[in-house]
Amino acid sequence: MLTKRTGLKLATAFAALMITGTAHAAEKLRLLTWADYAPKEVVDQFTKETGIEVEITLSNNEEMISKLRATQGAGFDLVQPSQDRIAGPQTEFGIYKPLDLSKLKSDLFIASMLEATKKNTTIDGKVYGVPHIWGTDGLIVNTKLAPKVADYNDLCDPALAGKTSFRSKRPALIAFAFANGMDPFASYGDAKAYAAMMDKVGAKLAECKKTVKFFWDGKDQLLNALRSGEVVAAMAWDTGGWKLNTESADIKFIAPKSGALGWVDTFAIPAKGRNDDAAYKWINFNMRPEIAAKVAAAAGNFTASNGADKLMQGKLKDQFAESFPKAAIDNIKWYPAVPAGIEEIEGKVLDRLKAGS
């Protein structure tokens, strides 16, 4: 069903293809990233400055790893997995190549965050990731309809039956472990102890399931349910909470008593990336404070770029200050690198959670 206009567009696109095809194919950066991490404005500016076109594919942590694994690290030139999901998959599948840190302008990064990320993504003395965007997992709460929710365990409050939600993924296991007095990160190295701990958490979640409306999967699905009041409290990312807070003041992002979970999304280069130069250019370009501020505003999160916070809009800063008093910031639990094998243990607990009634 071609309309005239799309027909025309197709024809021009085709003609353009012929011309570039015969002349010289424009240099291209194939970027595998999260939604909102590469806003159009920023991409256009990059293309204007460098002449490199950016081809964007949107994904999440698991799909990024699976996609790269399927091709042994080919198909993309730059990817953005979370910092804790690099060392394990790299050991297991060898899908990334070490970064050449001399090509990166390290003073563009917040020094402490750069060091922490480097440490977490180092295998055999080689660094595989540098930080880009960071944020937290915590509670989005409709404070009018569910005023008492302050920690993950409150999602299991029978008074809220059928009105809460979380993802049936690993952050839920980690969160409920902390909320019930355990420290999962301390047991990362001890598979047996970790399995025992996850069984306990699994039992807790199985009980909690009675009050859950659904395990959310897509961000939009959850935000819609929170907007309509079908869900009144959920474990979710801060950015979603602040977005809803802008629309309706009753909905707030709360740092849970037992600690919000801190994540950092990185830049990493796939093992068979074809255009490393473009990848380093994109990273340096993105870490410039004025660019980082634009990306952070689009994603609704914070950036590892040094100095970008001064350029951020006031609203997000205020929301962050309201959600995170000083003590809550200190209480953020930052994910350490996930060792290989841990996810199998978690996987079974999650499978049981979803299958059992």
Partner 1 sequence: MSRKPAQSLTLFLLLAPAVLWLGVLIVLPHVEILVLSFSERVAPRVYAFGFGNYLEFFTEPLYWRTFARTAIMSILVTAITLVLAFPIALYIARVAQGRMKAMLLLLCLLPFWVSELVRTLGWMMLLRETGVISYMLQAIGVTDQRTEFLYNDGAVILGLVYGGLLFMIVPLANALESLDPSVVEAGFDLGGSRWTVLRRIVIPHAMPGIVAGSIIVFMLTVGNFATPVLLGGKNGLWFTEQIYAQFITRFNWPQGAAFGMLLLLLSSAIVWAGLRLTGQSLGTTLKQA
For residue 66, the minimal CB distance to partner 1 (Å) is: 5
Among residues 45 and 66, whose Cβ is nearest to partner 1?
A: 66
Among residues 65 and 149, whose Cβ is nearest to partner 1?
A: 65
The answer to whether 268 and 126 have CB atoms below 8 angstroms apart is: no
For residue 249, the minimal CB distance to partner 1 (Å) is: 21
Among residues 24 and 354, whose Cβ is nearest to partner 1?
A: 354
The answer to whether 114 and 130 have CB atoms below 8 angstroms apart is: yes
For residue 90, the minimal CB distance to partner 1 (Å) is: 9
The answer to whether 133 and 286 have CB atoms below 8 angstroms apart is: no
Total length of the chain: 357
For residue 169, the minimal CB distance to partner 1 (Å) is: 7
The pair of structure tokens assigned to 266 is 């990185």
Q: Where does this chain bind partner 1 (CB under 8 A)? A: 62-63, 65-66, 69, 89, 91-94, 162, 168-169, 209, 212-215, 217, 228-230, 340, 343-344, 347-348, 350-352, 354-357
The answer to whether 328 and 80 have CB atoms below 8 angstroms apart is: no
HEC string of 223-288?
A: HHHHHHCCCCEEEEEHHHHHHHHHHCCCEEEECCCCCCEEEEEEEEEECCCCCHHHHHHHHHHHHC
Among residues 116 and 123, whose Cβ is nearest to partner 1?
A: 123
For residue 226, the minimal CB distance to partner 1 (Å) is: 12
Among residues 39 and 339, whose Cβ is nearest to partner 1?
A: 339
For residue 210, the minimal CB distance to partner 1 (Å) is: 9
Q: Please say whether the dihedral angle defined by the alpha carbons of residues 27, 28, 29 and 34, taken in this order, is positive or negative.
A: positive
The pair of structure tokens assigned to 165 is 């939600």
313 Cβ partners below 8 Å, 6+ apart?
297
